[in-house]
A and B are shown apart, each in its own frame.
Chain A
Amino acid sequence: MAEVTLDDLRRILRDCAGQDESVDLDGDIADLLFAEIGYDSLAMLETVSRVEREFGTSIPDEAVQEMVTPRTTLAYINRRLAEDTAGSAA
Chain B
Amino acid sequence: MTAIVVTGLGVAAPTGIGVETHWSAILAGRSAIGPITRFDASGYPTRLAGEVPDFVARDRLPGRLIPQTDHWTHLGLATAQDALDDAKVVTSDLPEYQMAVVTAGSSGGTEFGQREIERLWRDGPQHVGAYQSIAWFYAATTGQISIRHGMRGPCGVICTEQSGGLDILGQARRLLRSGSRLVVAGGTDASLCPYGLVAQIAHGRLTTCGDNARAYLPFDADASGYVPGEGGATLILETAESMRARGVDQHYGTILGYHATFDPRPGSGRPPTLESAAAGALADAGLRPDEIDVVFADAVGDPALDHAEATAITKIFGPYGVPVTAPKTMTGRMYAGGATLDVATALLALRDQVIPPTTGVYSPAPRNRIDLVGAYPRQDRLRHAMVLARGHGGFNAALVIGRQLTAHDDQGEATWRK
Range class of the B interface residue count: 10 to 19
- Expressed in whole angstroms, the Cα–Cα distance for A68 and B63 within the complex equals 21
Complex: how many Å from CA A16 to CA B63? Answer: 11
- Rounded to whole angstroms, the CA-CA distance of A19 and B67 in the bound complex is 9
With beta carbons under 8 angstroms apart, the residue of B63, B127, B129, B134 that contacts A18 is: B63
How distant is A35 from chain B, measured CB to nearest CB, in Å? 12
B64 touches A38 (CB 8 A): yes
Is A45 a contact partner of B130 (Cβ separation < 8 A)?
A: yes
Does the CB pair B63–A21 fall under 8 Å? yes
| Residues of the A chain whose Cβ atoms lie less than 8 Å from the Cβ of B276 | none
User: In the complex, are the beta carbons of B133 and A42 less than 8 A apart?
Assistant: yes
Given A42-B133, A42-B134: A49 and B126 interface contact (C-beta under 8 Å): yes
Residue of B at shortest CB range from A46?
B130
Q: Which A residues from 1 to 57 make CB contacts under 8 A with B?
A: 15-21, 38-39, 42-43, 45-46, 49, 52-53
- A15 contacts which chain B residues (CB < 8 A)? 67
Across the interface, which residues of B come within 8 angstroms of A21, CB to CB?
62-63
Which of B64, B129, B133 interacts with A20 by CB under 8 Å? B64
Q: Which residues in B have their C-beta under 8 angstroms from that of A19?
A: 63-64
Q: Mark B210-244, 1 if CB is under 8 A from A, else 0.
A: 00000000000000000000000000000000000
| Docked CA distance A43–B130 (Å) | 8
**Residue among A18, A39, A45 making CB contact with B65, cutoff 8 Å:** A18
B68 on interface, CB distance cutoff 8 Å = yes
Q: Which residue of A lies closest to B128 (CB)?
A: A49
Are B62 and A53 closer than 8 Å at their CB atoms?
no
Report Cα–Cα, A38/B65, bound state, in Å: 10
Please, which residue of chain A has its CB at the minimum distance from the CB of B132? Answer: A46
Q: Which residue of chain A has the shortest Cβ distance to B127 in the bound complex?
A: A53
Q: What are the residues of chain A within 8 A of B134 when measuring CB–CB?
A: 42
Cα distance, A43 to B133, chains bound together (Å): 12
Q: Once bound together, how far apart are the Cα atoms of A45 and B132, in whole Å?
A: 12
B66 contacts the other chain (CB 8 A)? yes
Q: Mark B40-70, 1 if CB is under 8 A from A, else 0.
A: 0000000000000000000000111111100
**A-chain residues with CB within 8 Å of residue B67 when the two chains form the complex:** 15-18
Could you list which residues of chain A lie within 8 angstroms of chain B, going by C-beta atoms?
15-21, 38-39, 42-43, 45-46, 49, 52-53
Can you list 11 residue pairs at the A/B interface with Cβ under 8 Å? A17-B68, A18-B63, A18-B64, A20-B64, A42-B133, A43-B68, A46-B130, A46-B131, A49-B129, A52-B126, A53-B127
